[in-house]
Structure 1
Amino acid sequence: MKVAVLDINGKDTGRKAELSNEVFAIEPNKHAVYLDVKQYLANQRQGTHKAKERAEIAGSTRKIKKQKGTGTARAGSIKSGVFKGGGRMFGPRPRNYGFKLNKSLKRLARKSALSMKANDKSIVVMEDFNFDTPNTKGFVNVLKALEVDKKKSLIVLGGSNNNVYLSSRNFKGSDVITSSELSTYKIMKANKVIVIESALEGIESNLSK
């Protein structure tokens, strides 16, 4: 699959980039995409929620009324969850929500996500660019030139680029990552995936294993 390479002004450079069919043109496995996104979101959960249970409530341990003859249900402790101020019954406890997925499934999910975006013509290949210093205005101008300033976009760099990353931090609609940080969740979240030309080799080598 060949796509045009754009410059920083959104103009066609006249060159074509070859997108591997093994990564960008497979039959998408939607269930794999679902599982990988589910795992990503599960790993974001802190799992620190906690409610006090009956044993953790401060209160008297005296039996609050006699066992029989009251005409109501028997009760032994004011700390019971059936009373106001008592412990929470079956309340949340700290836990880890994460779960494991094998590497081959995660690779399949990322390839499926990229193939879905490629099929929708939502992948843009752009030549390498840089800023001399962090420049938010310059970064926004790049997005405007690509007509993605009003959409959620994902920019995939070939390697770490501090100036481009810092330029993007104040612009909430765009996410800048390296090819090694590519995730199914971020691909699916974006309306447009902008792949820097130098990132193609890293993406294809990571996902063709």
Structure 2
Amino acid sequence: MQVKVQSLAGDAGAADIELNDEVFGLEPRADILHRVITWQLEKRRATARGTRERADVARTGKKFGRQKGGGTARHGDRRAPVFIGGGKAHGARVRDFDPSLNKKVRALGLKMALSSHVKAGSLIVLDGFSVAKTKELKGHFATLNAGKRTLVIDGTTNDGFLAGRNLVGVDLLPAVGANVYDIIKADTLVLTRAAVEQLEARFHG
């Protein structure tokens, strides 16, 4: 499909760009997107460091006092949580937040996330993304009619990334970091010509 290429000033580019239908022309499926986003958010989670409980502490299990007449409670184990050096009661345990998901499903989810913006008309393709001043970049976004939350994906990091990091509602990613969650969360997806080429090569390289 043919898409207009714009400049940061909002003008139409000299030439249109041909988007690969196998990457940008798929019909989005909610079940695939849900599976990939759930997998991605689970992968971000970190687990607590496991603590040693009563069964994990290396202390004597010998009864250290007689049952009656000692003036103390009837303890039979130094591993009890009430003692210094004893096991932790109800301590943190290591949990598994590393689900698996087929690579083909992950790739399909990314294609559908990109296609969803094409279908919704919220995709903007820029000729390039290189600007030094934050104030200048903010004015360019106003002329592009970008949404409240905008994701910009370029081929690589450049001066525009430094200029845009303080803009509210603007996220910036290199093409290698493109992911389903950030793309779906954005109201407007802005791709540079270099990002389009790298994303298409990612699936058909």
TM-score range, shorter chain: 0.7 to 0.9
* Residue 106 (structure 2) aligns with: 106
* Residue 6 (structure 1) aligns with: 6
8 Å contact 1:51–1:93 — kept in the other structure? yes
* Residue 44 (structure 1) aligns with: 44
8 Å contact 1:6–1:12 — kept in the other structure? yes
Superposed CA deviations along residues 11-49 of structure 1, whole A, max 9, x for unmatched, are 223532111110111122332221221122112212126
Deviation at 1:122, TM superposition (A): 1.2
Superposed CA deviations along residues 163-192 of structure 1, whole A, max 9, x for unmatched, are 111112112411111222111111101111
Q: Percent identity?
A: 27
Unmatched segments (≥5 aa) in structure 1 = 67-75, 82-86
* Residue 127 (structure 1) aligns with: 127
Question: Is 1:21 equivalent to 2:18 in the alignment?
Answer: no
TM-score (norm 2): 0.77
Tell me, what secondary structure is at the counterpart of 1:13? Answer: coil
TM-score (norm 1): 0.76
Tell me, what secondary structure is at the counterpart of 2:100? Answer: coil
Unmatched segments (≥5 aa) in structure 2 = 68-75, 82-87
Structure 1 residue runs of 4 or more that deviate by more than 4 Å after TM superposition? 49-57
Question: Is 1:31 equivalent to 2:31 in the alignment?
Answer: yes
8 Å contact 1:9–1:142 — kept in the other structure? yes
CA RMSD across the alignment: 3.4
Amino acid aligned to 1:168: G
Question: Is 1:181 equivalent to 2:177 in the alignment?
Answer: yes
**CA distance, structure 2, for counterparts of residue 144 and residue 53 of structure 1:** 58
**CA distance, structure 1, for counterparts of residue 172 and residue 47 of structure 2:** 27
8 Å contact 2:152–2:190 — kept in the other structure? yes
Tell me, what secondary structure is at the counterpart of 1:198? Answer: helix
Superposed CA deviations along residues 90-132 of structure 1, whole A, max 9, x for unmatched, are x64123412222221111000011111111111111111312x
8 Å contact 2:151–2:171 — kept in the other structure? yes
Question: Is 1:137 equivalent to 2:147 in the alignment?
Answer: no
